[in-house]
Structure 1
Amino acid sequence: LQIIIYFEFLTRNELGDKLPLLLSAEIMGRYSNVILINQSTNKIIDTIKHVGMDQNRYRTLLPGATYRQPPTQNKENPFEQDSNTFEELIQKYPNREVLADNLLKQYQGISRDNALALADKLHASNNYVQAFNDFLAMTENPIPTMNSNNFSIFTDNPNDKKFSTLSEMLDVFYHTKANRDRVQQQGGQLLHVIRKNLQRNKKKLKKLSNELKATENADEYRIKGEVLTTYLYQIKRGMTKITLPNFYDNNKEITISLSNQLSPSQNAQKYFKKYQKLKNAVTFVNEQIELTKKEVAYLEEIQTQIELATPADLDDIKTELQQEGYIKKKQQKS
């Protein structure tokens, strides 16, 4: 897309002489610029973006340099179209995106979004010239329209918002953008708190799950304790292990580790205590797992709310997080 709009002004210099000025607004994507030119000398007074010879040998845009227009792109004027061209393009490029790309290359003053809209109209019509003319007619009485991403005058989406004037649309756009930027800044701080707590709780949940899994072996400790109690007479102090028949498993042999510092009965009691500890832990661990899952669900819900929030919503969310203890309240100095 290459659009250049010239604004002519007449002012006076320091001596009071008339000074004709030309303001060139060049809309060319990332090469866009605004240039103020002294018309009597064709010298650049200043530009929004300075471009030196090391950046562009064809066109230097610096104060004092001679103003040159951007190089022509050798594109056709869309208002002087040839009907045969449309048929050739549509037949050659039936794909929407490819047709749009070639419309961009073929015609002046058409942006990517407009090219896509034109491609849709051409594909939907049997009268290509009429479809193109209808498309161009929309530029004579444009209806400023805004969707979630950008502006357009070519849209049939009922969800897009239409405005009576361009200024009204821009006011809404930049107001919305300012709110969005504020949300991103403030929301980013809140999201950091949420993600930090989510990470901590998910680690806790994993640890609790491992603890719960360990309690599944509680009966093994009870069985070992009972086997040791039954065969206490075979155990000698100082032994580190013993193999005994397991009457809970058809008297298959079971090897039990012992502490050489404990008596036979103390070794048996050690296994009973371990069993009781794991058994008591089941209830506690299950309660903690349930509480942690609820907290994770709560934090994930808050995270979603932050991502969709308005600035006013963020204040409420921040207050809630302070009340829940996730954020410390700032103490007022007395």
Structure 2
Amino acid sequence: MSYDGIVTHFVVDELKEKLIGGKINKINQPDRNEIHLTVYHNRKNYRLLLGVSSSIPRVYLSSESRKNPLTAPNFCMFLRKQIQSGIIEDIEQDGFDRVIAFRIKTFNELGLPVNKKLIIELMGKHSNLILVKEDHTIIDALKRISKDISRVRQIIPGLSYSTIKDDKWDLEKQGYKNPSELYNEEMDDEKLFQFFYRHYTGFSPILGRELSNLANLAPSTRLHYIEQEEWERIDKEFYKLYERIIQRDIDPQIILDPEDESFKEFHGLDIRYLGNEKIRFDTISEMLEEYYKKSAVDDRISQKVSSLRKIVQRKYNRDLNKLATMENELIESKDREQYKIFGDLLSANNHRIEKGTKSIEVENFYDPNLGKITIPLDHKKSPRENTQHYYKMYSKMKNRHKLLEVQIPKTREELKYISQLLDSMNHITEVGEIEEIREEMIDYGLIKKRKKKERFEKSKPYHFISSNGQDIYVGKNNRQNDILTLKTANREDYFFHAKDIPGSHVILRNNELNEEDFKEAAFLAAYYSSAGSEKFVDVDFTQKKNVKKSRSAKPGMVYYDHFETVTVSIKEFNINTFKKTK
């Protein structure tokens, strides 16, 4: 991860400068993994973001105001009681590790000072926010860790807090040590770039690759093959980088992908091996906020979508099993005529059946050659009861066959719709889109209606501009697909959809079109479908006037005729190069 111990070191420097001596005026918890402290210092309010999401743990000063729940979560209420109105007296990093402790002076009911520490651990899935007493007794934590979760280290009220131990060399705690001095033969099979983050606290793969390149060595070079002269170069470059760290030679930057200018990496030091496509910032916090802005939204969306997806996936799996069972029953029901024949033959030969007989061989008058046939019997039943048994089996399977002929197509349509619902979840980019999916699930009966309906801003379909300047619209979910195709599109506009698979409705406005417009619209239909990661996707297109919807159809489900089919090569286009309006 780019948010390594060195970035943490620079963050702590910034926080010390701006927050020490500040008063905690407000505490909010806009998200289950995120705490915001509003700290007043030197006539200015600072918003300190403490995030312990397993995917994007982070700490920085934020300028973004987040919406908070009407009722504060329990941990938020706990922190308000424990540290609100407290003074931040010191901010410490545990060596170069990704652990920050805020020493806070609070006051008890008698007005006497009580020191506490709010500790944040930025450790991936082990990230946590822990409040401890001055003697390191744990008061509580955002994530309580019991023996059932971890036998190595528990985080429970009443236990003594201790940091995570490892065997890495900490330059801040233990002093400087050259890589050549740290190296031993047991590390021979390691790659050079791995050596730095495996054996130095706070270092990361990005710094490992940077140091390898600065020493003019391939990052993948095995340590066994490094010569003495090369170790000297490594030591030299390592010390230079160490000096940049301790002298606070910071250069906050986001490194861009040169192809599409998307965010690739970030760091507080100047990273040279990734090229010169960069955005530079005045402070570490500004850089982190810009980098994590989209990641944080994606993370919140992912959390909310995950629970809904499980419900829909469970319904899909249940219906898939149901369909398989019904299809097997349909095959079996096709043999029902045999039971009627058995019943007719037994009825004609009842007088020949002796009590206790397990089978009888009779002449089959349905056979043109009048061949013999053996009929199994239940020896506990009378001849008449055996005859009625076969007639009942025939009648039951006949009725079941009729029912299956209705239920199987209906279940297939249900699966088609549910597949479309699942595909819609893959393209969610806004919280409003989650609520639209939630409403659709309520209407479908998958989840219960909320007692208090939340207000949210309805999202709109994607609006792309083709290279020829034409409007292309892409529905994000079933409801948008319906509105876009059936209400927004004109009769002469063109409708695109991935062939026979879940996907978005795509509308191309019919206005002086050329071949490239059709290619781009077809690509968008392929990309925003369940086959978007495939190499080639078949896409149907026709004019909107040929698209219809039956009254009983589920949201987003339409049928069309007079269409043509094209095969789209996904690699021919790059979605990031498409011009999208807001």
Corresponding residue number in structure 2 for 1:302: 421
Corresponding residue number in structure 1 for 2:218: 124
Distance 2:360 2:343 in 1: 13
Corresponding residue number in structure 1 for 2:437: 317
Residues 1:72 and 1:246: Cα distance change in structure 2 (over 3 Å)? farther
Distance 2:306 2:135 in 1: 39
Please report how far the alpha carbon of residue 219 of structure 1 lies from its aligned counterpart in structure 2 after TM superposition.
3.4
Residues 1:271 and 1:168: Cα distance change in structure 2 (over 3 Å)? same
Distance 1:55 1:71 in 2: 19
Percent identity between matched residues is 20
Corresponding residue number in structure 1 for 2:362: 245
- RCO higher in 1 or 2 (8 Å CA, sep ≥ 6)? 1
Distance 1:36 1:269 in 2: 86
Corresponding residue number in structure 2 for 1:164: 280
For normalisation by structure 2, the TM-score amounts to 0.39
Please report how far the alpha carbon of residue 221 of structure 1 lies from its aligned counterpart in structure 2 after TM superposition.
0.5
Q: Deviations over 1:298-320 (max 9, x none)?
A: 32442343355231221221232
RMSD (Å) for aligned C-alpha atoms: 5.2
Q: 2:345 aligns with which of 223, 227, 234?
A: 227
Distance 2:406 2:263 in 1: 45
Q: Residue 143 of structure 1 contacts residue 164 of structure 1 at CA under 8 Å; is this kept in 2?
A: yes
Distance 1:29 1:149 in 2: 23
For 2:173, give the aligned amino acid.
P
Q: Residue 320 of structure 2 contacts residue 415 of structure 2 at CA under 8 Å; is this kept in 1?
A: yes
For 2:311, give the aligned amino acid.
V
Distance 1:292 1:105 in 2: 54
Corresponding residue number in structure 1 for 2:141: none
For 1:312, give the aligned amino acid.
G
Q: Deviations over 1:229-288 (max 9, x none)?
A: 44244247x77755122535941533334885674xx85465345324423433431442
For normalisation by structure 1, the TM-score amounts to 0.61
Equivalences for 1:133-172 in 2 at 5 Å?
141=251, 143-145=253-255, 151-152=266-267, 154=271, 162-165=278-281, 166-172=284-290
Structure 1: state its 5+ residue gaps.
Answer: 12-20, 38-44, 58-68
The alignment partner of 1:29 has SS state of coil
Q: 1:212 aligns with which of 330, 344, 353?
A: 330
The alignment partner of 2:191 has SS state of helix
Corresponding residue number in structure 2 for 1:29: 97
Distance 2:432 2:419 in 1: 20
Q: Residue 100 of structure 1 contacts residue 118 of structure 1 at CA under 8 Å; is this kept in 2?
A: yes
Corresponding residue number in structure 2 for 1:15: none
Structure 2: state its 5+ residue gaps.
Answer: 22-88, 106-114, 120-131, 137-159, 164-170, 222-228, 257-261, 454-582
Residues 1:36 and 1:282: Cα distance change in structure 2 (over 3 Å)? closer
Distance 2:96 2:237 in 1: 23
Corresponding residue number in structure 1 for 2:173: 71
The alignment partner of 2:174 has SS state of coil
For 1:170, give the aligned amino acid.
L
Corresponding residue number in structure 2 for 1:182: 300
Please report how far the alpha carbon of residue 142 of structure 1 lies from its aligned counterpart in structure 2 after TM superposition.
5.0
Corresponding residue number in structure 2 for 1:274: 393
Q: Deviations over 1:145-173 (max 9, x none)?
A: 48889744648779xx9533244432234
Distance 2:379 2:199 in 1: 89
Q: Deviations over 1:67-107 (max 9, x none)?
A: xx96314423xxxx9xxx59x98x99786x53234334777
Distance 2:389 2:253 in 1: 84
